[in-house]
Amino acid sequence: MRPLDARALDWDKGDGLLPAVVQDAGDGAVLMLGYMNRESLARTLEDGLVTFYSRSRQTLWQKGETSGNVLEVVDVAPDCDGDTLLIRARPAGPTCHLGSRTCFDGDDVSALPGFLGHLEDVIRQRLAAAPEGSYVARLVAGGRQRVAQKVGEEGVEFALAAAVGEREAAVEEGADLLFHLMVALQEQGLSLADVIATLETRHTGD
């Protein structure tokens, strides 16, 4: 986490409060907006878990203190004017109190960019509705071991294509592998965002 000098922030503009935008460190999804005073920011930086200031109750509250859906801080940065904070965090569960992933969109909307986001949404919908004729629904109905086996099979096929330098085959098998990986993740209540977040924690910049 980058060092943050709270004394350099413009606390006066908002009568001692700063709006704090929380962003998923994995895929960049905007999760929620809260407010912080000096004490809540200090606690956030100290504990590594996002703590806000409640304007209605006029007290501090740690996100997820009752639900368990805490926000683990990765980084806190001010905007150019020093009167707004951007908090990059790893969510432990749904951020919205209504049960959706973010406070700005529902469970059927992925924050992954472009087609991958659309594909993840489709997989999630197939798992939830299990429509007749759906390959995803049929695969998952075969059990978790069958899903895992399919990921393994696709991984081997990709490795074989890559080993002999068959570029077109590697692309085809890579697509199959990624698709089945996404299914396996969704079946366990996970997503590519969780994988991305883990990769980010391993990144050293080298």
The fraction of the chain above a pLDDT of 70, given in percent, is: 92
Average pLDDT (107-134) is: 78
Q: Residue 103 falls within a domain, yes or no?
A: no
Q: Residue 206 falls within a domain, yes or no?
A: no
Each residue's pLDDT tens digit, 55-83: 999 999 999 998 999 999 999 999 999 99
The neighbour count for residue 183, using CB atoms within 10 Å, is 22
> Which of 86, 69, 91 is CA-nearest to residue 1?
86
Q: Provide the residue range defining the domain that includes 127.
A: 114-190
Q: Residue 202 falls within a domain, yes or no?
A: no
The fraction of the chain above a pLDDT of 90, given in percent, is: 65
CATH of residue 15's domain is 3.10.20.810
Q: Given a cut of 90, is residue 167 above it in pLDDT?
A: yes
Q: Residue 203 falls within a domain, yes or no?
A: no
Helix 114-129, helix 167-187: angle, nearest 10: 50
Q: Given a cut of 50, is residue 107 above it in pLDDT?
A: no
Q: Given a cut of 60, is residue 106 above it in pLDDT?
A: no
Helices (H) and strands (E) in the chain, counts: 6, 6
Clarify whether residues 118 and 86 are in a common domain: no
pLDDT, averaged across the chain: 89
Strands 71-78 and 85-91 turn out to be antiparallel
- pLDDT, residue 110, reads 56
The amino acid present at 182, given as its one-letter code, is M
The model scores a pTM over 0.75: no
The neighbour count for residue 31, using CB atoms within 10 Å, is 25
Each residue's pLDDT tens digit, 151-162: 999 999 999 999
CATH of residue 159's domain is 1.10.287.1080
Q: Residue 44 falls within a domain, yes or no?
A: yes
Q: Given a cut of 50, is residue 173 above it in pLDDT?
A: yes
> And the tokens for 170?
């590697």
